[in-house]
Amino acid sequence: LHDGFFNGDPHPGNVFLCDDGRIGLLDWGQVKRIDLPVRLNLARLFIALADRDAVATAALWTACGFRTARQNPWCVERWAVWRFSRMSPDVYADLGGVANFESTLGGLDPILSEPEEYIMAFRFAALLRGNAMGLGDLRIDSAAKWRGHAVRLLKRHGEPLPETQLGRRLPGSPPWAREAG
């Protein structure tokens, strides 16, 4: 978030702990640089995700250019959470569990286009979460970990923080509940 430069491939084979306590990264073949406007958008999105504001998350992820066939806010929010925040039962339980999450959500509201400038950031978040989960932290929330950095970035550039409400849910029921009824 701060300098726009990161290693997009931090899987366990590319991360190691040095004898002096520093973290070492191998394989810089998937390095990504993202411009300030993209970082500012990510910062806003991370804050909404960390605050678990489903309304703001769906709106901000849509504003980044994420498109689905129906643009159903519930589905858009689930896609954003899955990509940038957490992989916990509150995200995937209603969608058939971890193994069926993407196919079930994609069946409800398939992705039409994903903004290319955010794909490596999503990969980075997913790999770091996977590393943490492999070390036993099954409740890791990437967006929550990055929230403070996101706030600092926005403030440093004179940008307003997104207006969020802690735990705000989308009105109505999930799309599958409406389709079944």
Task: Give the tens place of pLDDT for each residue, 7-19.
Answer: 666 666 777 788 9
On the question of pLDDT at 31 being above 80, the answer is: no
Per-residue DSSP letter, 65 = T
What is the H or E stretch that residue 5 is in?
strand 5-7
User: What distances in angstroms separate CA 166 from CA 58, 61, 86, 149, 163, one per listed residue?
Assistant: 14, 17, 16, 18, 10
pLDDT at 80: 96
pLDDT at 107: 93
Q: Which amino acid belongs to residue 149?
A: H
DSSP 66-123: -EESS--HHHHHHHHHHHHT--SHHHHGGGT-TTTHHHHHHHHS-EEE--HHHHHHHH
pLDDT tens for each residue of 118-171: 888 888 888 778 777 777 877 889 999 999 999 999 999 999 999 999 999 998
